[in-house]
Amino acid sequence: MMKSLNEMISIADKYGASDIHLVTGLIPTMRKNGLIANLDENDSSVFTSEASKNIIDTILNKYQKNSLEDKGDANLSYTCQSIFKEKILRTRVNVFKDLRGYSFALRLINENIPTMQELLLPHSIQSLIKKEHGLIVVTGPTGSGKSTTIASMLETINNTKNIHILTIEDPVEYYYRSKKSLISQREVGENCISFSAGLKAALREDPDVILVGEMRDAETIEMALAAAETGHLVLTTLHTADVVQSIDRMMQYFPANQQEQIRMQLANSFEGIIAQKLFLKNGGGRVAAFEILLRTPATINLIRTGRAFELKDYMSNRDGMQTMDESITDLKRRNYLKHLMVLQ
Nearest to 273 by CA among 232, 253, 251, 245: 245
Provide, rounded to the nearest whole percent, the portion of the chain with pLDDT above 70. Answer: 99
CA distance 124 to 22: 39
Provide, rounded to the nearest whole percent, the portion of the chain with pLDDT above 90. Answer: 88
Q: For residue 340, is it within any domain? A: no
**Alpha carbons within 13 A on the beta-carbon side of 117:** 1
Looking at the structure, do residues 173 and 63 belong to the same domain, yes or no?
Answer: no
Q: For residue 312, is it within any domain? A: yes
CA distance 170 to 211: 11
Distances (CA, A) of 40 to 24, 29, 35, 157, 240: 16, 8, 14, 40, 33
CA distance 5 to 18: 15
pLDDT beyond 70 at 344: no
Whether omega for the bond prior to residue 171 falls within 30 degrees of 0, making it cis, is yes
Distances (CA, A) of 165 to 138, 141, 142, 157, 245: 18, 26, 25, 9, 28
Nearest to 246 by CA among 319, 118, 140: 140
CA distance 105 to 211: 23
Sequence-ordered list of residues with C-beta below 8 angstroms from that of 277, at least 6 positions apart, any chain:
140, 141, 144, 288, 289, 324, 342, 343
Looking at the structure, do residues 51 and 80 belong to the same domain, yes or no?
Answer: yes
pLDDT beyond 90 at 264: yes
In 181-283, which ranges are continuous DSSP H helix? 195-202, 218-229, 243-252, 256-269
Average pLDDT of the residues of the chain: 94
pLDDT in tens, 207-221: 999 999 999 999 999
Q: For residue 287, is it within any domain? A: yes
Q: For residue 50, is it within any domain? A: yes
Strand intervals (E) in 111-240: 134-139, 164-169, 182-187, 209-212, 233-238
pTM score, whole prediction: 0.90
pLDDT in tens, 145-200: 999 999 999 999 999 999 999 999 998 999 999 999 999 999 998 899 999 999 99
pLDDT of residue 341: 66
pLDDT of residue 176: 96
Looking at the structure, do residues 40 and 99 belong to the same domain, yes or no?
Answer: yes
CA distance 67 to 61: 10
pLDDT of residue 34: 83
Q: For residue 343, is it within any domain? A: no
CA distance 280 to 34: 8
Nearest to 229 by CA among 203, 248, 250: 203
* Last residue of one domain, picked from the residues 58, 82, 109: 109
Looking at the structure, do residues 217 and 246 belong to the same domain, yes or no?
Answer: yes
pLDDT beyond 70 at 59: yes
Q: For residue 249, is it within any domain? A: yes
Distances (CA, A) of 60 to 93, 113, 256, 340: 10, 26, 39, 38
User: Total domain count for the chain?
Assistant: 2
**Structural domain of 60:** 5-109
CA distance 146 to 154: 12
pLDDT of residue 175: 93
Contact 209, 157 (CB under 8 A): yes
pLDDT of residue 5: 97
pLDDT beyond 70 at 30: yes
CA distance 283 to 207: 41
Domain with residue 104: its CATH number is: 3.30.450.90
